[in-house]
């Protein structure tokens, strides 16, 4: 990728909020010249994450995808079983099921929060089902209590994919404290970012102990591996999904600003929503007790034609906007998978045809927001 491409857009989809504290936190580790791996910052990051989201345990990983993979392994999801997932998600949600040799079964979503629909989930349960992976879209919780109830009634696991929803809550409970296992992503566009990174939060000591083995070669790390002569014990097969001390230090620095970053997003979302509501647009509207963190700011248009025209118009104004998400089961790869992936998912299809994700980031300027709002107004004027 050529560097100038990064600044190609007048308004990019996101811009990272960073400050001197971020720089100093990293510089400190670099300057110490030791423990760039397995440093104390990793556990510190995990402990502060636990406090922030009221989880019992957190295990940080090098991506949201490895977190999902590790969460499935730690929950003992076996091959040739079935796992219910949304098709309206990032492809990693479904891929993680394939990683462990199981089969993703796509269920439909609800209109109000774009999360898995409990009614559709219940219909997809079979004797082979071992887990459900509900996804919290864009910073708003799905109907996690209903989904958890279905899982409990059927004695199957819930692995909540909250890659996009760190800091969000539902009925006053933080995402990460509700499900037994929840994953987060710290990839570049997320509310908290370390460039790449992720975490698994869990309320189960057993899952947590397994996660630590999976993350690091199945090795029991009671002492620092790199600064002790003792031979370690290896108890299971494992990967290297660790994050570096540098990444953890950046994560800590970002985490300490999380509330501020979310409040900036909320203010921006409110400003934009108030001004574009007069057009035939449905703006994100967190109801049903969920607190929205606006990792994405996704609007819904009347139909696909208007959505496609608006996207083209805004791109022409140098405003980057994207469709998050097109259905996973309609990708080339998943279309080739087995017949169950070709079921019709009417709400998923409808939503993905009508939505458009607009730029949203904490330090979006008033000028940028006004330019975007005026451009949207300009589009609807051309239609009259
Ligand atoms: C819903 C969802 N699940 C999983 C992931 C994967 O996270 P990562 O990109 O950190 O691997 C993402 C991230 O983009 C996501 O949005």
* Cα gap 164→114, rounded to integer Å: 13
Taking only the tens place, the pLDDT of each residue in 280-309 is 999 997 666 689 999 999 999 999 999 999
Judge if the beta carbon of residue 92 lies within 6 A of ligand 1: yes
Kindly report the protein residue whose alpha carbon is nearest to atom 10 of ligand 1: 64
Flag residues of the chain having pLDDT under 50: 1-4
Judge if the beta carbon of residue 164 lies within 6 A of ligand 1: yes
Kindly report the protein residue whose alpha carbon is nearest to atom 7 of ligand 1: 64
Judge if the beta carbon of residue 325 lies within 6 A of ligand 1: no
Q: How many C-beta atoms surround the C-beta of residue 21 within 10 A?
A: 14
Q: Which helix (H) or strand (E) holds 355?
A: strand 355-358
57-61 vs 290-291, strand pairing mode? unpaired
Ligand 1 geometric centre to CA of 118 (Å):
22
- Express the helix, strand and coil content of the chain in percent, nearest 5 each: 40, 15, 40
pTM over 0.85: yes
Ligand 1 geometric centre to CA of 308 (Å):
25
Domains of the chain (ranges, CATH numbers): 3-255 (3.40.640.10), 258-383 (3.90.1150.10)
Taking only the tens place, the pLDDT of each residue in 320-368 is 999 999 999 999 999 988 655 556 899 999 999 999 999 999 999 999 9
Which atom of ligand 1 lies closest to the CA of 96? 4
């Amino acid at each position: 990728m050529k560097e100038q491409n990064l600044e190609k857009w007048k308004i990019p989809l996101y811009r990272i909020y960073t400050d001197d504290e971020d720089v100093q936190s990293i510089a400190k580790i670099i300057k110490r010249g030791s423990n760039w791996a397995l440093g104390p910052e990793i556990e510190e990051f995990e402990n502060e994450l636990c406090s922030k989201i009221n989880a019992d345990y957190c295990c940080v990983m090098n991506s949201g995808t490895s977190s999902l993979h590790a969460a499935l392994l730690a929950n003992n999801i076996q091959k040739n079983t079935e796992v219910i997932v949304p098709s309206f998600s990032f492809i990693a949600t479904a891929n993680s099921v394939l990683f462990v040799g199981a089969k993703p079964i796509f269920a439909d979503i609800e209109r109000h929060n774009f999360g898995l629909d409990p009614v559709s989930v219940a219909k997809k349960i079979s004797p082979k089902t071992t887990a459900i992976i509900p996804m919290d879209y864009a910073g708003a919780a799905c109907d996690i209590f209903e989904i958890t109830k279905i899982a409990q009634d059927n004695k199957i696991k819930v692995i909540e994919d909250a890659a996009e929803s760190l800091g969000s809550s539902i009925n006053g409970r933080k995402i990460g404290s509700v499900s037994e296992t929840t994953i987060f992503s710290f990839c570049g566009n997320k509310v908290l970012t370390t460039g790449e990174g992720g975490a698994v939060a869990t309320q189960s000591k057993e899952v947590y102990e397994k996660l630590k083995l999976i993350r690091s070669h199945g090795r029991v790390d009671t002492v620092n591996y790199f600064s002790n002569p003792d031979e370690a014990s290896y108890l299971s097969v494992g990967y290297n999904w660790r994050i570096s001390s540098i990444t953890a230090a950046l994560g800590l620095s970002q985490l300490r600003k999380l509330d501020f970053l979310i409040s900036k997003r909320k203010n921006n979302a409110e400003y934009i929503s108030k001004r574009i509501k007069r057009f035939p647009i449905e703006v994100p509207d967190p109801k049903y007790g969920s607190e929205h963190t606006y990792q994405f700011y996704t609007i819904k248009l009347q139909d696909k034609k208007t959505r496609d025209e608006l996207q083209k118009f805004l791109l022409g104004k140098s405003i980057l906007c994207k469709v998050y998400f097109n259905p996973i089961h309609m990708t080339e790869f998943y279309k080739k998978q087995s017949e169950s992936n070709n079921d019709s998912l009417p709400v998923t299809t409808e939503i993905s045809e009508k939505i458009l994700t607009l730029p949203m980031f904490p330090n979006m300027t008033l000028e940028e927001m006004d330019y975007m709002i005026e451009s949207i107004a300009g589009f609807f004027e051309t239609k009259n």
